[in-house]
Amino acid sequence: MSTTSSQPTTGPFTDTKQMFVNDPREMYTREQIDAYLSYISFPVTKYKISPEIAQTHDGLAYLSTLQKYQLARVPFENLELHYSKERHISLDQNDIFDKVVVSRNGRGGYCMENNALFGMLLKSLGFEVIPTGARVLLSGGSGGWSHSANLVCIASQTYLVDVGFGANGPTRPLPLVHGYISKWGATETELRLVYQEPRNPVVQGMWTFESRISESYDWTSNYCFGLTEFSPQDFEVMSYATSTRRTSWFTFEIVCQKMILDEEKNDIVGAVILSGSRLKRRILGNTETIAECANENERVAVLQKHFGINLSRRERIGIKGMVTELKGGSKSGL
C-alpha cells in the first residue's frame, strides 16, 4: 500500500464532537443489533465494540471485519423491482431491517437499502457516520446522484465505507487519502480514492473511487462523491428515480450479487454474481459461468441454491409480463 500524493492526508471532519450527534431515538435497539450480528454470523466473542473503542485502531479493525461479514451475507440485489406486484423500495430503517434480518430469507437490497442498514447499525454501535450520495461514472459519464455510501470518522481519519456497490465495491474501509492504494479482498485487484480540486473555490472538491484488476491495467473510475451529508429525504428522491425511471438499468435488468468470505484468510476472495439469466462465480480473479437460466423456475432455483433466497408464490407471480421475465424452455446443469 502506498500514497502517491500528499493531497489531502486527513479526514475532513476534525471536530467530531460537533460534526456527529447520534440520536438514540433513531438507533437500532440492543436486541436488533444482536439479531443482526447473529444473522451475519459475526464472531462476537472475538471482536468487541463500544463508543470508546469505535474511535480507536481496534474500532477500525472491528469495522473492517464487520464490513466483510455484511458483504458475504447480505446481497446487492434489486429483486423487489421485479418479483413483486408493488415494485416499491422502502428506505425506512425498520422496514429494511425486517426485510434483511427478521425475514431470514437471504434478502438484501440495492445501495440505498444496504448502506442505510449498515450505516444505522454502525451508528447504533457508537461509530460516527455521515451518509452521502455519489455519482456513478461507469457508463463514461455522470449518472447523477444515484448511489449512496457512508463516511465513517475514526480517530480524526475519515473512511469511505460502502456495502452497496455490488461485486465491484470496496471490501474494507478506504481512508480519504489521495492515491492511497488498497486491495479488493485477498485478490490482486487494487482500489484507491483520488481527490480532485474544484474548478471554482466556491464549491467543494470531489473524491473518485477507482479500481484496476492489477498493476498492469489502467484505473477505472467507478463513482465520485463530495463531503456533503445527505438526509433520508435526499435518498428518498434518489431511490424513487432509480427505481422508476425507464432509463435506470435497475428497472430492466435483474441483479443479485454476494461476496465470498474465506474465514481462514479472514478476507473476501470472490463473488457470486447473477446478472439477468447468467450466474457466475469469481474467485481470486478467475471467473466461471455456473448456470444459464432459461426460465423462471430455473432462476428461482438458482436464487435459492446460491443465495438462500426463497421467493414466495406471490413474489414469483409478480414478474409475469415484465421485460425481465424468462419464458424459455429448461436446461440442464442447474
- In this predicted structure, the answer to whether residue 55 has a pLDDT above a threshold of 70 is yes
What's the confidence (pLDDT) of residue 327? 92
- In this predicted structure, the answer to whether residue 9 has a pLDDT above a threshold of 80 is no
What is the tens place of the pLDDT at every residue in 171-180?
999 999 999 9
What's the confidence (pLDDT) of residue 138? 80
Does residue 322 lie within any of the structural domains?
A: no
User: What is the spatial distance between Cα 173 and Cα 61, in angstroms, rounded to a whole number?
Assistant: 10
Average pLDDT over residues 324-328: 93
User: What is the spatial distance between Cα 262 and Cα 1, in angstroms, rounded to a whole number?
Assistant: 22
User: What is the spatial distance between Cα 21 and Cα 24, in angstroms, rounded to a whole number?
Assistant: 9
Average pLDDT over residues 315-328: 95
**Between 329 and 67, whose confidence is greater?**
67
- In 3-state terms, what secondary structure has residue 117? helix
Mean pLDDT of the chain: 91
Of 57-66, 141-150, 253-262, 296-305, give the lowest mean pLDDT range.
141-150
The DSSP symbol for 295 reads B
Average pLDDT over residues 276-291: 96
Average pLDDT over residues 234-255: 96
Handedness of CA 263, 264, 268, 270 (dihedral sign): negative
What's the confidence (pLDDT) of residue 143? 74
- In this predicted structure, the answer to whether residue 1 has a pLDDT above a threshold of 50 is no
User: What is the spatial distance between Cα 296 and Cα 180, in angstroms, rounded to a whole number?
Assistant: 44
Residue 108 belongs to what domain range? 30-317
- Answer yes or no: are the C-beta atoms of 5 and 179 closer than 8 Å: yes
Does residue 13 lie within any of the structural domains?
A: no
Question: Which amino acid type is present at position 325?
Answer: E
Q: Which grid coordinates belong to 1?
A: 500500500
Average pLDDT over residues 255-273: 97
Does residue 225 lie within any of the structural domains?
A: yes
Average pLDDT over residues 245-266: 95
Does residue 8 lie within any of the structural domains?
A: no
- Answer yes or no: are the C-beta atoms of 261 and 68 closer than 8 Å: yes
Does residue 166 lie within any of the structural domains?
A: yes
Which residues share a beta bridge with 289? 280
Q: Which grid coordinates belong to 257?
A: 450479487
User: Structural domain tally of the chain?
Assistant: 1
Exposure on the CB side of residue 34, measured as CA atoms within 13 A: 3
What's the confidence (pLDDT) of residue 103? 96
What's the confidence (pLDDT) of residue 22? 52
- In 3-state terms, what secondary structure has residue 327? strand
Does residue 282 lie within any of the structural domains?
A: yes
Does residue 333 lie within any of the structural domains?
A: no
Query: What phi, psi does 277 have (nearest 5°)?
Result: -105, -5
In which band, very low, low, confident or very high, does the pLDDT at 169 lie, cut at 50, 70 and 90?
A: very high
CATH code at position 108: 3.30.2140.20
- Answer yes or no: are the C-beta atoms of 236 and 244 closer than 8 Å: no
**Between 19 and 60, whose confidence is greater?**
60
